[in-house]
Amino acid sequence: MKKIVFVINYFYPDLASTGQLMTELCLDLQDDFEITVIAAKPGYAGEKDLSKGILVTEKLENIKVVRIKLPQVNKTSKLSRIKYILSYFLLANIALLKEEKTDIIYTISQPPILGGLIGTIGKFIKGSKHIYNIQDFNPEQAEAVNYTNNKIIFKLAKTVDKFNCSYSDMIVLVGQDMSETLRKRFVNKAIPKHTIINNWTNENEILPLEKSHLEVEKLISLNNLNDKFIIMYSGNLGLYYDLENIIRVTNSFKNNKNIVFLFVGEGAMKETMEKYIIENKISNVKFLPYQPKESIKYSLNIADVHLVVNQKGIKGVSVPSKIYGVMAAGKPILGVLEKDSEAQLLIEKSNSGIIVEPQDYEGIKDAIVHLYKLNKEERKIMGLNGRTFLEKYLRRETSINKYRELIKKI
């Protein structure tokens, strides 16, 4: 049986979306391959780790999991992020090099640049094959939000990641639009081998449920959301979504107590968003922490409309994977997305929502008013269009099988 080492940072029981995806992938492949996972100890949502040992080995079913103990990260501090990332990079390389008889190394583009570099180093030293799964292109993503203006760092980062791409045996992209970004990196040069396998959700687990469903109703009552029109954003409240500006849209609706904006998750922008709400005395905006995985199938269904957003300049660089869960729950989408981006095309093709260009804040307000004025049946049809499309074209099993065949081929 061939051995694959997944070096993927986030893994069960971590709440990061990539961690949940990679956990499902590994569990579904565990009977086909010998799998080792190298991942950080859980901490994405601020969980405390009291265990000792820098590298700790445990099991998840048939999967060997090597946990790396890392310093706690403050997502609002660049210095804290750098310390966390460099610690992970160093320790993940040590853990990988300790693994024997590795046939394939599978890495993802997290942390930026260094995730791929771990696979590059591992392939060079161990003679293994390397599959590089690019969830987000960096430094392009950081450049889009002006994370730093240091051109030397950007040039160096792009050079390193281009080498990661060229030296890998296969690049896996998660959106059709991302292949154009890869081509732009290699103008007039051979484009590295790549394939497209979209992310997924478990459509058998996340189902469309009415607000009257016992567990959904319980969540609604628990958070004092009865009889409210709920506009939900569920996911990372991070740097790449323009949430620090989108939150200002809520000020136009603060006198409409029938509408509630609900932000579920954690991230670098949460403090900024909360500060704006307090300063402007907006009472119909609520924040909830990440929900346990077993509760997501209910929490997604308390919304009347879901926000799926990306910052301007992210087209072809990243795909908001939350869209798959929203479509599975059969809820209408307000997409703040660039034209011809992967998520925008999914909404358009499935007729499952309304799309507004990033930074068009008046357009967002108009879209909210439009969705609010639709009757329940119209919104229900719109949302279920997304569910029907997902079942036809975006099934979890399809993506998992593509990974299985790709790994066998390599």
C-alpha–C-alpha distance, residues 311 and 240, integer Å: 5
Total domain count for the chain? 2
Question: Is 64 in the same domain as 127?
Answer: yes
Same domain, 37 and 186: yes
Q: What is the pLDDT of residue 51?
A: 60
In a domain, 207, yes or no: no
In a shared domain, residues 162 and 71: yes
| pLDDT tens track for 208-237 | 999 999 999 999 999 999 999 999 999 999
| pLDDT (0 to 100) of residue 158 | 94
Is the same domain home to 100 and 190?
A: yes
**Which of 19-23, 36-40, 148-152, 273-277 shows the lowest mean pLDDT across its residues?**
148-152
Same domain flag for 346 and 302: yes
The pLDDT value given to residue 333? 98
Question: Helix 17-29 vs helix 396-409: angle between axes, to the nearest 10 degrees?
Answer: 60
Residue 61 and residue 160 in one domain: yes
253 domain-assigned: yes
pTM to 2 decimal places: 0.92
Q: How many helices (H) and strands (E) does the chain have?
A: 15, 14
Any domain includes 249: yes
Average pLDDT (385-393) is 98
**CA-based nearest residue to 134, from 40, 198, 42:** 198
Q: Distance between CA atoms of 389 and 396, rounded to whole angstroms?
A: 13
Q: Check: CB of residue 392 under 8 Å from CB of residue 332.
A: no
The number of residues making up the chain comes to 410
Section 183-192 average pLDDT: 92
pLDDT at 391 over 80: yes
CATH number for the domain including 20?
3.40.50.2000
In a domain, 380, yes or no: yes
In a domain, 340, yes or no: yes
For residues 345 and 366, give the distance between their C-alpha atoms in angstroms, rounded to a whole number.
21
Confidence band of 43 (pLDDT split at 50, 70, 90) = low
Owning domain of residue 81: 3-200+395-409
Q: Are residues 46 and 187 in the same domain?
A: yes
Q: Are residues 190 and 220 in the same domain?
A: no
Sequential DSSP letters for 1-67? --EEEEEEE--TT--SHHHHHHHHHHHHHTTTSEEEEEEEPS-TT--------SEEEEEETTEEEEE
Q: How confident is the model at residue 80 (pLDDT cuts 50, 70, 90)?
A: confident
Report the C-alpha gap between 75 and 79 in whole angstroms: 9
Contact in structure between 239 and 147 (CB atoms under 8 Å): yes
What is the pLDDT at residue 50?
A: 54
Do residues 18 and 117 share a domain?
yes
With respect to residue 256, please indicate whether it lies within any of the assigned structural domains.
yes
> What residues does 134 pair with on adjacent strands?
173
Q: With bands split at pLDDT 50, 70 and 90, how would you rate the model's confidence at 48? A: low
pLDDT in tens, 274-329: 999 999 999 999 999 988 888 999 999 999 999 999 999 999 999 999 999 999 99
In a shared domain, residues 404 and 383? no
Contact in structure between 379 and 371 (CB atoms under 8 Å): yes
Q: Clarify whether residues 66 and 86 are in a common domain.
A: yes
The verdict on residue 206 lying in a domain is no
- Residue 383 inside a domain? The answer is yes
- What pLDDT was estimated at residue 176? 95
pLDDT at 292: 86
Pair (129, 192) in one structural domain: yes
Instruction: Return the pLDDT at 49.
Output: 57
CB 71 within 8 A of CB 84: yes
